[in-house]
Amino acid sequence: MQSISGKPDLKRDLKIGKKAEKKIHPQLEELFREKLISTDSFNQFCNFDFVNESRDIWIEHKNRTNYSSNFRTYFFDEVKLIKFKKLKEDNPKVRAFIVWSFKDCRKIWEITDSDKMENGHLHYYIENQFADRGRGYKVHTDVVNVFNVRTTKIQDYVFTEKTE
């Protein structure tokens, strides 16, 4: 988001993001039927915003309330996908989710560790963005673009335990 001066403002964006996390926290606990802990309580630089007590459910919230959900893809930083793959390597039962809050709805996607085709469709693709990430200068960042059709409106999502 840009400040009055027209430049991105990282401190303000982080404050808005934290406020959005507090707002969605109870809804996520209800959705996942779990007590969720803010990862800030043990690592303010964690790649995810929430985790359950057994640390097998990880959730990242992306606040996009200045935008409607009518994009072909929704993105998040690839480092979160890399972190998920590491968590999954350490514990095969780990699941992770991205939740986007738009001005017209909330969407959810369970991270898959595969970008392979499923029913003729990719889940996501990775690309490099060159943008100002709130620090006053542009940087290259690899992002995961999740296809809108692979996401679910949060009110339609039903969390189920996976049995393996």
Work out whether strand 36-38 and strand 57-64 pair parallel, antiparallel, or are unpaired. Answer: unpaired
Terminal-to-terminal C-alpha distance of the chain: 42
pLDDT at 14: 72
The least confident of 96-100, 118-122, 134-138 is 118-122
Q: Between 158 and 6, where is the model more confident?
A: 158
Half-sphere exposure of 87 (CA within 13 A, CB side): 24
90-113 mean pLDDT: 94
Cα(61)–Cα(159) distance, rounded to whole angstroms?
16
29-35 mean pLDDT: 96
Domain residue limits, the chain: 10-154
pTM more than 0.85 = yes
In this predicted structure, the answer to whether residue 9 has a pLDDT above a threshold of 80 is no
Cα(96)–Cα(84) distance, rounded to whole angstroms?
7
Of the candidates 18, 8, 125, the one whose C-alpha atom is nearest the C-alpha of residue 75 is 125
Label residue 42 exposed, middle or buried (CB < 10 Å: 0-12, 13-18, 19+).
exposed
109-133 mean pLDDT: 82
pLDDT, tens only, 69-96: 999 999 999 999 999 999 999 999 999 9
Cα(126)–Cα(115) distance, rounded to whole angstroms?
9
47-70 mean pLDDT: 94
In this predicted structure, the answer to whether residue 16 has a pLDDT above a threshold of 90 is no
pLDDT, tens only, 123-140: 899 999 998 877 788 999
CA angle in degrees (0–180, nearest 5) for 12-76-98: 100
